[in-house]
Structure 1
Amino acid sequence: MFKNPLLLTALVLTALVALWGVLDTAGLAAFAQQEVAQQFESRAWFIMLVASLIVVLVLWLALSPFGNVRLGADDDRPEFSTVSWLTMLFAAGMGVGLLFYGAAEPLTHYQLIQEQLGAAGPAAGYAMVVTNFNWALHAWCIYAVTALVIAYYAYRKGQPGIIGTPIRYSFRRGGWVRPVAWIADLLAIYAIAIGLAGSLAIGVFQVQGGITNLFGLSGGDDALKLAVFAVLCIAFLVPLSMDLSRGMAVLSNIAMGIAFVLMIFILLVGPTHALMDGIVDSIGGYLSSLVRQSFATFPFFGEAFEEWFHAWTLNYMVWWIAWAPFVGVFVARISRGRTIREFVLGVVFVPSLFSLFWFGVFGGLGFYAAQNTDLPVVDVALSQPENTTFFVLNALPLGSLTGALTVAAAFLFLVTSVVSAAFVLSMFSTGGNEDPPVRIKLIWGVILAALGLAMMLTGDTGVVRSIIALGAIPFVFILPLLAVAFLKTLQREERAAMRGQARP
Structure 2
Amino acid sequence: MTITSPQPSAQDGREPTSASSTDALAGTGPGTDEHPAIAEPPALPADQRATLDRTVFAIAAVVALTFVAWGFLAPSGLGSASGTALVWIETNLGWLFVTLASAFVVFVVWLAASAYGRIPLGRDGEAPEFRTVSWVAMMFSAGMGIGLMFYGVAEPLTHYVAPPPRSVAAETPEAVQTAMATTLFHWTLHPWAIYAVVGLAIAYGTFRRGRKQLISAAFEPLFGARRTTGPAGKLIDVLAIFATLFGSAASLGLGALQIGSGMEILGWAGSVGNGLLVGIIAVLTAAFVASAVSGVAKGIQWLSNINMVLAVVLALFVFVVGPTVFILNLLPGAVGSYFSELAQMAARTEASGGDPMAEWLRGWTVFYWAWWISWTPFVGLFIARISRGRTIRQFVSGVLLVPSVVTLLWFAVFGGAGIAAQRDGADVAGQATSEGQLFGVLDQFPLATVMTVLVMALVAIFFVSGADAASIVMGALSERGTLEPSRPTVIFWGVVMGAVAAVMLLVGGDEALTGLQNLTIIAALPFALVMVGLAVSLAKDLRSDPMVLRRTYATEAVEQAVVEGITRHGDDFVLVVEAGGEGTGSPGSGATAARSGQGPADRDPDGRDPDVRDPDVRNPDGREPAARNS
TM-score bracket for the superposition, by shorter chain length: over 0.9
Task: Find out whether 1:70 has 2:109 as its counterpart.
Answer: no
Q: Deviations over 1:330-354 (max 9, x none)?
A: 2112211111111111111010111
Following superposition, the deviation at residue 101 of structure 1 comes to: 0.8
Paired position in structure 2 for 1:54: 104
Paired position in structure 2 for 1:355: 407
Aligned positions of 1:140-151 closer than 5 A? 140-151=192-203
For the residue of structure 1 that corresponds to 2:277, the secondary structure is helix
Following superposition, the deviation at residue 31 of structure 1 comes to: 1.9
Paired position in structure 1 for 2:265: 213
Task: Find out whether 1:281 has 2:330 as its counterpart.
Answer: no
Distance 1:483 1:415 in 2: 30
Following superposition, the deviation at residue 426 of structure 1 comes to: 0.6
Following superposition, the deviation at residue 295 of structure 1 comes to: 2.8
Following superposition, the deviation at residue 92 of structure 1 comes to: 3.1
| Structure-2 change in CA distance of 1:86 and 1:232 (3 Å) | closer
Distance 1:330 1:447 in 2: 19
1:497 paired residue among 534, 550, 570: 550
Does the CA contact (< 8 Å) of 2:147 and 2:251 recur in 1? yes
The amino acid of 1:15's aligned partner reads: L
Distance 2:52 2:193 in 1: 37
Mean CA deviation greater in 155-164 or 254-263: 254-263
Paired position in structure 2 for 1:34: 84
| Structure-2 change in CA distance of 1:167 and 1:367 (3 Å) | same
Aligned positions of 1:200-349 closer than 5 A? 200-215=252-267, 217-240=269-292, 242-243=294-295, 245-349=297-401
| Structure-2 change in CA distance of 1:266 and 1:165 (3 Å) | same
Distance 1:262 1:95 in 2: 14
Which structure is richer in relative contact order (CA contacts within 8 A, separation 6 or more)? 1
The amino acid of 2:480's aligned partner reads: G
The amino acid of 1:185's aligned partner reads: D
Mean CA deviation greater in 474-483 or 455-464: 455-464
Following superposition, the deviation at residue 76 of structure 1 comes to: 1.1
Does the CA contact (< 8 Å) of 1:256 and 1:409 recur in 2? no
TM-score (norm 2): 0.76
Following superposition, the deviation at residue 216 of structure 1 comes to: 6.5
| Structure-2 change in CA distance of 1:216 and 1:234 (3 Å) | closer
The amino acid of 2:113's aligned partner reads: L
Q: Deviations over 1:467-500 (max 9, x none)?
A: 1111111101111100000000111226633465
Aligned positions of 1:192-203 closer than 5 A? 192-203=244-255
Paired position in structure 2 for 1:126: 178
| Structure-2 change in CA distance of 1:222 and 1:93 (3 Å) | closer
The amino acid of 1:130's aligned partner reads: T
Following superposition, the deviation at residue 123 of structure 1 comes to: 2.2
Q: Deviations over 1:103-162 (max 9, x none)?
A: 111222223228864442222321221111111100000011111111000000000011
TM-score (norm 1): 0.94
Following superposition, the deviation at residue 269 of structure 1 comes to: 1.0
Mean CA deviation greater in 20-29 or 314-323: 20-29
Mean CA deviation greater in 62-71 or 240-249: 240-249
1:379 paired residue among 416, 424, 430: 430
Does the CA contact (< 8 Å) of 1:279 and 1:360 recur in 2? yes
Distance 1:173 1:94 in 2: 33
Does the CA contact (< 8 Å) of 2:277 and 2:502 recur in 1? no
| Structure-2 change in CA distance of 1:230 and 1:91 (3 Å) | closer
Structure number having the greater helix percentage: 1
Following superposition, the deviation at residue 11 of structure 1 comes to: 0.8
Task: Find out whether 1:403 has 2:447 as its counterpart.
Answer: no
Following superposition, the deviation at residue 170 of structure 1 comes to: 3.7
For the residue of structure 2 that corresponds to 1:120, the secondary structure is coil
Percent of aligned positions that are identical: 36
Following superposition, the deviation at residue 171 of structure 1 comes to: 2.7
Mean CA deviation greater in 311-320 or 109-118: 109-118
**Alignment gaps of 5+ in structure 2:** 1-50, 558-588, 591-630
The amino acid of 1:206's aligned partner reads: Q
Paired position in structure 2 for 1:422: 471
Mean CA deviation greater in 10-19 or 201-210: 10-19
| Structure-2 change in CA distance of 1:83 and 1:226 (3 Å) | closer
Paired position in structure 1 for 2:22: none
**Alignment gaps of 5+ in structure 1:** none
1:437 paired residue among 470, 486, 492: 486
Distance 1:136 1:319 in 2: 14
Does the CA contact (< 8 Å) of 2:291 and 2:464 recur in 1? no
| Structure-2 change in CA distance of 1:305 and 1:81 (3 Å) | same
Does the CA contact (< 8 Å) of 1:167 and 1:485 recur in 2? yes
Does the CA contact (< 8 Å) of 2:53 and 2:480 recur in 1? no
Distance 2:229 2:97 in 1: 24
Paired position in structure 2 for 1:23: 73
Q: Deviations over 1:387-422 (max 9, x none)?
A: 111111111111111110000010111122222211
Does the CA contact (< 8 Å) of 2:165 and 2:360 recur in 1? no
Q: Deviations over 1:413-445 (max 9, x none)?
A: 112222221111010111101222221112112
Q: Deviations over 1:71-126 (max 9, x none)?
A: 11112121233333333333334411110111111222223228864442222321
